Structure 1
């Protein structure tokens, strides 16, 4: 189970108890913000993309109010943004839609952090299912995601 994999992942750092479980859904930015009683922009949403040229999948973690800017994405990755289909997400990434996160992902999936997150001291990414999250500082997010690099591929947040 995806959430269990994330819990096991955080257990090795003594952080499993920081994962918050909700009795309501946190599957979207709006629902997660409601469950956490925080501003929607502080939700660290994880978006899944297929890169045809490189034949790989990437995850981009961005602020809840940020939207992918197709021109910036193409400049960064030399191809247009192509999101995974919902039925592809869990088999490829390892987490279901609504719980996709940058922790305990399947091998070969690369993680990028978008600049839209840097304006916050802490953010709330999901933890493998549609009713949980964890609060992490930006430094902790960097530490626990094994991210490849910071990128600037979003708009509507500045």
Structure 2
């Protein structure tokens, strides 16, 4: 069994995944994890784990660890509809990134101005067992979390 420590890709208020106002995330359809409600300012989103940047879209990215744990960071809800507006990539798909490395700048005020929710779900891709993801203290308390702080642990 491998243990993966997943870091907060952005600062803000840590939120249990079931509280994300989108059933695709809250019901674990994509996988289990946690989320962060970012402050309404331009925010730098970092890699939550080290590994290969398997997928990079303007509004989301997946980092695959050396243990083959894929971690998805989704910047806002329904933000795919923006076609990249409000996002600036600082890495390239296929890059090897370290945990905490800048991946995308995220213009939260622009997203909010479009009427979209800026919350950032972070999930272990295709994880079907909720018990394999152990939320960090900040998630359980709904506390503020710093970029790069422990968000949750994934056991595979």
Q: What TM-score, normalized by structure 2, do the two folds share?
A: 0.27
Give 1 or 2: higher strand fraction. Answer: 2
Structure having the larger proportion of residues in helix:
1
Structure having greater relative contact order (Cα 8 Å, sep ≥ 6): 2
TM-score normalised to structure 1 length: 0.27
